[in-house]
Amino acid sequence: MQLSHSLLVSFLAFADLVVSAPSSFSLYAYGNELVAGMRLFYADGYAYVGDSAPSFASQATNVTFSLTDDSRFVAYPIDNVTWTSNPSMCIGAGEGDLKTVGFASNYKNVSDGVIVTGFGLFGGYAYNSKAGSIEMYFVASPTNETGIYQIKWDASLSETSESIMPISLRTAAPATPSG
């Protein structure tokens, strides 16, 4: 979703009125082809969503995030995992428009093209504005494990493969049915 210049100006004027982001939050994936509210996990430096962490990863943990003053999503493990520093969510570099979403343990020393800043929340929806406009180009790509998807960023929204599904990442946990 790319906003026009006048809409972006209106959005920025309105942004001062938006309640600030929670100090700690989880992210959940929503999309037409996914079970609503799959939780985001850290697994070997990459972002995945599913009902549980990927079993194929050597280190996988459920994470919560905080939003820093310099627009980074910093991850904190929920499970008993030892990290030397808390990694920042990032959008990978590389050729083409489809990029991996992962975590940079040293956000000040990343490869050229890796995006670690510009993240934010609007109405509980995660976005990145590093390119100058609010963008929500998250997609889910199936893995070889049923119900586990790798999160990627499709800057052009050009991937038309049936396996790549547009999603939104939100702070809203899925509703649990009563009864």
The count of domains in the chain is 1
Report yes or no: 65 and 26 within 8 Å, Cβ to Cβ: yes
What are the pLDDT digits (tens) for 113-140? 999 999 999 999 999 998 788 999 999 9
The answer to whether residue 161 is domain-embedded is yes
Report yes or no: 34 and 50 within 8 Å, Cβ to Cβ: no
Report yes or no: 151 and 47 within 8 Å, Cβ to Cβ: yes
The answer to whether residue 98 is domain-embedded is yes
**CATH number (domain holding residue 98):** 2.80.10
Determine the Cα–Cα distance for residues 38 and 70; give it in Å rounded to an integer.
27
Q: State mean pLDDT over 136-163.
A: 86
Determine the Cα–Cα distance for residues 28 and 171; give it in Å rounded to an integer.
6
The answer to whether residue 178 is domain-embedded is no
Structural domain range at position 148: 23-170
The answer to whether residue 151 is domain-embedded is yes
Residue 69: exposure state from Cβ atoms within 10 A (0-12, 13-18, ≥19): exposed
The answer to whether residue 176 is domain-embedded is no
| β-sheet bridge partners, residue 81 | none
State residue 144's pLDDT score.
93
Threshold 0.85, pTM exceeds:
no
